[in-house]
């Protein structure tokens, strides 16, 4: 069978699950990754015959795709912020909206001479590792409740050649912080935030395959993780520190109230590429004259959206 014929075969097989464009995109992305070919080569080599020893593996993996396993879990890797990350069903697949969170921090802090950052609930490690790559002056820390996730994050840090201090910690355990008296300039987090009631409205691929502990919150406590983050920040952020987090789009007024009531100042929220309020960043102290560059940089980010 040729590459073109097999691309077609995958597309046809996946069509009950995806619309034709998405099925074709999955087929191409799968074959590019497995044949180590850039997109244009896949087209140019369309008439090449597939190496027969690979066809058995391809058919097995096509079955997984057909059962709704996300492509990144089948391949065992995902792209995020220009880097490659190992992923498994123990960690959430990195999402584009989280790249925007990373981008915001990189832009705001690329000129900060020193930085200490804690990624709370790191999962695959994608936020901490992308920040470590792009803010080489930063001393990076990352925690997760899941040992399985931490072992993936450690492997990802090694593969991407960055040094990160990892520790196992449940972010809801605000009485015990994992890094002692260490203080941070930035706390960053993409905690679980989808209200459980929305489960039935989500794509079956996500619900059936990604870790629920990284996605969902109880309907009666939707801000659970932000309450914990706010408290952690009051204990271990430097006075001039800030907290960045990805959030559910529906709760920004409640989040603003929560952070202001905990003693934070200057609550900001930003929309993601889909126009949903997705990112918050909160400063512990009001921005004073010496730090006006933060305000300028923020304004330029908002102007460029």
Contacts with ligand GLN by CB under 6 A lie at 95, 97, 190-194, 206, 215, 246
Min dist. Cβ of residue 242 to ligand GLN (A): 19
Q: Is 54 helix (H, G, I), strand (E, B) or coil?
A: helix
Phi-psi region of 28 (alpha: psi -120 to 50; beta: other; left: phi over 0): alpha
H helix runs in 16-146, sequence order: 20-35, 39-44, 52-66, 71-75, 96-109, 126-134
End-to-end CA distance of the chain: 46
Measured CA to CA, the distance from residue 301 to residue 269 in angstroms comes to 12
- Tell how strand 83-86 and strand 164-168 pair up: unpaired
Structure tokens belonging to residue 89: 């069903």
Give me the residue label for tokens 């020893």: 53
Would you say 31 or 214 has its CB closer to ligand GLN?
214
Measured CA to CA, the distance from residue 26 to residue 236 in angstroms comes to 43
Min dist. Cβ of residue 97 to ligand GLN (A): 6
Min dist. Cβ of residue 54 to ligand GLN (A): 32
Would you say 192 or 241 has its CB closer to ligand GLN?
192
Q: Is 274 helix (H, G, I), strand (E, B) or coil?
A: coil
H helix runs in 186-291, sequence order: 204-209, 212-215, 224-236, 252-261
Would you say 3 or 128 has its CB closer to ligand GLN?
128
Q: What is the CA radius of gyration of the chain?
A: 21
- 135 phi and psi angles, rounded to 5 deg: -125, 75
Min dist. Cβ of residue 33 to ligand GLN (A): 22
CB 23 within 8 Å of CB 17: yes
Would you say 30 or 248 has its CB closer to ligand GLN?
248
Min dist. Cβ of residue 190 to ligand GLN (A): 5
Other Cβ atoms closer than 10 A to 197: 11
Min dist. Cβ of residue 68 to ligand GLN (A): 15
Would you say 212 or 235 has its CB closer to ligand GLN?
212
Measured CA to CA, the distance from residue 280 to residue 188 in angstroms comes to 10
Would you say 31 or 126 has its CB closer to ligand GLN?
126
Min dist. Cβ of residue 81 to ligand GLN (A): 15
Min dist. Cβ of residue 270 to ligand GLN (A): 15
């Amino acid at each position: 069978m040729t590459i073109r014929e097999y691309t077609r075969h995958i597309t046809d097989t996946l069509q009950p699950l995806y619309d034709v464009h998405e099925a074709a995109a999955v087929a191409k992305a799968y074959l590019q990754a497995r044949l180590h070919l850039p997109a244009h080569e896949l087209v140019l080599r369309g008439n090449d015959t597939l190496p027969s020893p690979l066809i058995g593996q391809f058919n097995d993996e096509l079955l997984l795709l057909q059962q709704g396993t996300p492509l990144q879990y089948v391949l065992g890797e995902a792209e995020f912020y220009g880097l490659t990350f190992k992923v498994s069903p123990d960690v959430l697949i990195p999402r584009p909206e989280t790249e925007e969170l990373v981008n915001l921090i990189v832009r705001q802090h690329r000129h900060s001479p020193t930085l200490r950052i804690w990624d709370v609930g790191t999962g695959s490690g994608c936020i901490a590792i992308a920040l470590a790559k792009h803010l080489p002056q930063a001393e990076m820390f990352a925690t997760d409740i899941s040992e399985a996730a931490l072992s993936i994050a450690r492997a990802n840090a090694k593969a991407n050649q960055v040094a990160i201090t990892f520790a196992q910690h449940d972010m809801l355990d605000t009485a015990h912080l994992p890094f002692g008296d260490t203080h941070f300039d930035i706390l960053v987090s993409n905690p679980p935030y989808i209200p459980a009631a929305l489960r039935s409205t989500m794509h079956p691929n996500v619900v059936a395959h990604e870790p629920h502990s990284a996605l969902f919150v109880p309907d009666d406590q939707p801000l659970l993780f932000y309450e914990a983050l706010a408290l952690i920040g009051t204990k271990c952020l430097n006075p001039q520190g800030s907290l960045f987090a990805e959030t559910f789009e529906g709760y920004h007024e409640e989040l603003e109230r929560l952070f202001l009531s905990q003693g934070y100042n200057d609550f900001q929220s930003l929309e993601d590429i889909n126009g949903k309020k997705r990112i918050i960043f909160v400063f512990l102290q009001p921005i004073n004259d010496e730090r006006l560059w933060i305000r300028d940089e923020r304004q330029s980010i908002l102007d460029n959206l």
